[in-house]
C-alpha cells in the first residue's frame, strides 16, 4: 500500500493526519471525480482525502476500504448523501457515522458486510433513506434503528437473513415503524428458507430459555426439603437423618446467601413438614426410630419446641408425610412402610394433631400424595406391595376409588396442573418412570422416561415454566420442561455441575427477587441452584 493509501485509512479511522499533507483547495484527489459539493471515488485508493468540510454528497464505488471505524466522517459534517457500492469492507463499527447530523441518504449496497454494530447508526437524526441491500448480513443487532425517528424508507433486501431468534426484534419492529421496509426472503433455517421475512409470524419463535446454575452447597446430606413462608419471610427446612435434625434455613440479606436459622433435634428423620397457622409454626418430624414428633412455635419471637408424640402405635416406620386441608381443618398424612404399622391421617384437634383414620394397613406404603380431583380431596398411596391406589374424601373419611393400571413397582408419585389438566409423575427405580393425565375417571399413560436408579420424579412450577426433575442414583439428574404445544415433557438440561449424588427431593423458593432450586441428596451434600431466564433474541 502506498503512502497515500495509509493516509486515507488513517482518515477513515478518525485518527487524522495532522498537518502533514492536505490537498490544495479546489484540487480533487486522484481516483475521484469532484464537483463543487460532491465527490465520486473509485478504484484502487482505499479512501480519498476529503477536500471540503462543506461537501454534500460523497460516493465510494469499488474501493479497497476494509472497515468503517468510529468517527470515519467527522471531517465532512455537512454531508446529505453517503453511498457505498461494491466495496470490500465487511465490518461497520459503533459510531462509524458520528457527526453526520445532516445526513439524509445512506446507501450501503452490494458490499461484503457480514457484521454491523448496534450503535453504528447512532446520531443520524436526519436520516430518511437507508439501504443495506445485497450484503452478507445474516442478522441485525437489536436497537440498530434506535433514534432514527425520521426514517421513511429502509431496504434490507438481498441479505441471507437467518430467520431465528436473532431477527425476532426486527419482525416486531417492522409493523410499528412509520416507514416502508423492504425485507427480502429468509435464507434459513430450512423450514423458513425462501419465505418473505415480513410473512414470518413472530409468535412462532421460542426465544426464551432457562438455565439452572450452581449457587451454594449445604454440607450435610438430606432426605427431604420443603419451602414455606412465615411472617412474610420465605424459609427452607431440610430433613437431615445423619445429622439427626430438621434444619431451617433463611436468607442472609448481607451475605446474599442462605444461612442456618434454627434446628430441631430429630434423629433418623425422613421428613420435616411445616405448617403455618397465623403466628404459629408447626413442624412434623417423621422419624424411622424413636417415634415421630410435632414441634411448635407459638409466636415469631419464640423458638420451636416439642409439642407431642404422633401416633406411636401406628407410625412405626414412616417414609413420607404430606399436608392437606379437609373440611377447613389442617391435617397431616404419614405413609408408613412397616408391616405392623399403617399409613395414618392426623387432623388438628385442640392444641395438637391426632389420628383420624388408618389407611392401607399392611401394604408397606412408600409415598403419599395429596391432590384435588373433580373438586374433592384425594390421596394417592404408592406401595412396595401393589400398584398405586387412589382414595377420595367421602362422608368424612377417605374411601378407595381406584388404582392405577400398568403401574407396578412405583416408588413415589407427584402431581401438577397445566392447562386445566392434572398430570401425575410416577417414579420407578427399575424400569421407566411415567407421566399420566387424569381423564375424569382414572389416570392414563401419556409418556415414559428411562429412569433406572430413580427415587424422585418431581414436578416444579418455577416462574412461567412447568419443570420436572428426574433424579437418578446412577446417572446425571435430568431437568425436563413441559412443552404446551405437545403436552409432553422435553429434556432441558442435566443438573450440575456439581453433580448431585442420590437425590431424594427438590424444592424451589423465591428470595429477594431471585429463584432457587434445592436438591436434597442422600449420599452427598444438598446443592442449591439459581434459576436464570435467558433471552435468545438479545
- In the numeric block, the cell 499533507 is attached to 21
* pLDDT at 15 (0 to 100): 30
DSSP element (H, E) containing 171: helix 168-173
pLDDT in tens, 190-247: 999 999 998 999 988 889 899 999 999 998 999 999 999 999 999 999 999 999 999 9
pLDDT at 48 > cutoff 60: no
* Proportion of the chain above pLDDT 70, given as a percent: 92
* pLDDT at 280 (0 to 100): 96
pLDDT at 490 > cutoff 90: yes
pLDDT band at 43 (very low <50, low <70, confident <90, very high): confident
515 or 43: which carries more pLDDT confidence?
A: 515
Mean pLDDT of the chain: 90
158 or 405: which carries more pLDDT confidence?
A: 158
pLDDT in tens, 495-513: 988 889 999 999 999 998 9
Tell me which of 16-20, 58-62, 317-321 is least confident: 16-20
Predicted TM-score of the model (pTM): 0.80
Describe the strand order of the beta sheet including 257-265 as a list of residue ranges. Answer: 224-230, 233-240, 245-252, 257-265
Gap between the Cα atoms of 125 and 103, Å rounded: 8
pLDDT in tens, 250-300: 999 999 999 999 999 999 999 999 999 999 999 999 999 999 999 999 999
* pLDDT at 193 (0 to 100): 94
Tell me which of 25-34, 144-153, 197-206, 392-401 is least confident: 25-34
**DSSP secondary structure letter of residue 498:** T
**DSSP secondary structure letter of residue 524:** S
pLDDT in tens, 436-467: 999 999 999 999 999 988 999 999 999 989 99
- In the numeric block, the cell 421460542 is attached to 206
Residues in the chain: 538
31 or 295: which carries more pLDDT confidence?
A: 295
pLDDT in tens, 125-173: 999 999 999 999 999 999 999 999 999 999 999 999 999 999 999 999 9
Cis peptide before 173 (omega within 30 of 0): no
Helix/strand/coil (H, E, C) string of 346-409? EEEECCEEEEEEEECCCCCEEEEEEEEECCEEEEEEEECCCCCEEEEEECCEEEEEEECCCCCC
pLDDT in tens, 184-205: 899 999 999 999 998 999 988 8
Exposed, middle or buried, 53 (CB in 10 Å: 0-12/13-18/19+)?
exposed
* pLDDT at 32 (0 to 100): 81
* pLDDT at 9 (0 to 100): 31
DSSP element (H, E) containing 469: strand 465-471
* pLDDT at 51 (0 to 100): 56
For residue 257, the cross-strand partners are 252
Domain positions in the chain are 32-205
User: What architecture does CATH give domain 32-205?
Assistant: Alpha-Beta Horseshoe (3.80)
Parallel, antiparallel, or unpaired: how do β-strands 67-68 and 91-92 relate?
parallel
Cell numbers for 501: 449424588
Which of 525, 507, 528 minimizes the C-alpha distance to 229? Answer: 507
Amino acid at each position: 500500500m502506498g503512502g497515500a493509501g495509509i493516509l486515507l485509512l488513517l482518515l477513515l479511522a478518525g485518527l487524522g493526519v495532522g498537518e502533514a499533507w492536505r490537498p490544495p483547495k479546489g484540487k480533487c484527489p486522484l481516483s475521484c471525480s469532484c464537483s463543487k459539493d460532491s465527490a465520486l471515488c473509485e478504484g484502487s485508493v482505499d479512501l480519498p482525502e476529503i477536500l471540503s468540510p462543506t461537501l454534500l454528497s460523497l460516493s465510494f464505488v469499488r474501493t479497497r476500504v476494509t472497515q468503517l471505524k468510529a468517527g470515519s466522517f467527522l471531517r465532512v459534517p455537512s454531508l446529505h448523501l453517503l453511498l457505498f457500492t461494491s466495496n470490500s469492507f465487511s465490518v461497520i463499527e459503533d459510531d462509524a457515522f458520528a457527526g453526520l447530523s445532516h445526513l439524509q441518504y445512506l446507501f450501503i449496497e452490494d458490499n461484503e458486510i457480514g457484521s454491523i454494530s448496534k450503535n453504528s447508526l447512532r446520531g443520524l437524526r436526519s436520516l430518511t433513506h437507508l439501504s443495506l441491500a445485497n450484503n452478507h448480513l445474516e442478522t441485525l443487532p437489536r436497537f440498530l434503528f434506535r433514534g432514527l425517528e425520521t426514517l421513511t424508507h429502509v431496504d434490507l433486501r438481498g441479505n441471507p437473513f437467518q430467520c431465528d431468534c436473532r431477527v425476532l426484534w426486527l419482525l416486531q419492529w417492522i409493523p410499528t415503524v412509520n416507514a416502508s421496509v423492504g425485507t427480502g426472503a429468509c435464507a434459513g433455517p430450512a423450514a423458513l428458507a425462501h419465505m418473505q421475512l415480513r410473512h414470518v409470524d413472530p409468535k412462532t419463535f421460542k426465544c426464551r430459555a432457562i438455565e439452572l446454575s450452581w449457587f451454594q452447597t449445604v454440607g450435610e446430606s438430606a432426605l427431604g426439603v420443603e419451602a414455606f413462608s412465615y411472617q412474610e419471610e420465605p424459609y427452607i427446612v431440610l430433613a437431615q437423618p445423619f445429622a439427626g435434625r430438621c434444619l431451617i434455613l433463611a436468607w442472609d440479606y448481607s451475605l446474599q446467601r442462605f444461612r442456618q436459622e434454627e434446628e430441631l433435634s430429630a434423629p433418623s428423620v425422613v421428613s420435616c413438614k411445616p405448617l403455618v397457622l397465623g403466628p404459629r409454626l408447626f413442624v412434623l418430624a417423621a422419624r424411622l426410630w424413636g417415634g415421630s414428633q410435632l414441634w411448635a412455635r407459638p409466636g415469631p419471637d419464640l423458638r420451636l419446641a416439642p409439642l407431642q408424640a404422633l401416633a406411636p402405635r401406628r407410625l412405626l416406620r414412616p417414609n413420607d408425610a404430606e399436608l392437606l386441608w379437609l373440611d377447613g381443618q389442617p391435617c397431616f398424612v404419614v405413609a408408613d412402610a412397616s408391616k405392623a404399622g399403617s399409613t395414618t391421617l392426623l387432623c388438628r384437634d385442640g392444641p395438637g394433631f391426632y389420628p383420624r383414620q388408618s389407611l392401607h394397613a399392611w401394604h408397606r406404603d412408600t409415598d403419599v400424595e395429596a391432590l384435588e380431583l373433580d373438586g374433592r380431596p384425594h390421596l394417592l398411596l404408592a406401595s412396595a406391595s401393589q400398584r398405586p391406589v387412589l382414595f377420595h374424601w367421602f362422608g368424612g373419611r377417605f374411601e378407595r376409588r381406584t388404582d392405577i393400571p400398568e403401574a407396578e413397582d412405583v416408588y413415589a408419585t407427584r402431581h401438577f396442573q397445566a392447562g386445566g389438566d392434572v398430570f401425575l409423575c410416577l417414579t420407578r427405580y427399575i424400569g421407566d418412570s411415567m407421566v399420566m393425565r387424569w381423564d375424569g375417571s382414572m389416570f392414563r399413560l401419556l409418556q415414559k422416561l428411562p429412569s433406572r436408579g430413580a427415587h424422585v420424579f418431581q414436578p416444579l412450577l418455577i416462574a412461567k415454566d412447568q419443570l420436572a426433575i428426574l433424579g437418578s442414583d446412577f446417572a446425571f439428574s435430568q431437568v425436563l420442561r413441559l412443552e404446551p404445544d405437545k403436552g409432553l415433557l422435553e429434556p432441558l438440561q442435566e443438573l450440575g455441575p456439581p453433580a448431585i449424588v442420590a437425590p431424594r427431593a427438590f424444592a424451589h423458593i423465591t428470595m429477594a427477587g431471585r429463584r432457587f432450586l434445592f436438591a436434597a441428596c442422600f449420599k452427598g451434600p444438598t446443592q442449591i441452584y439459581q434459576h436464570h431466564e435467558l433471552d435468545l433474541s438479545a
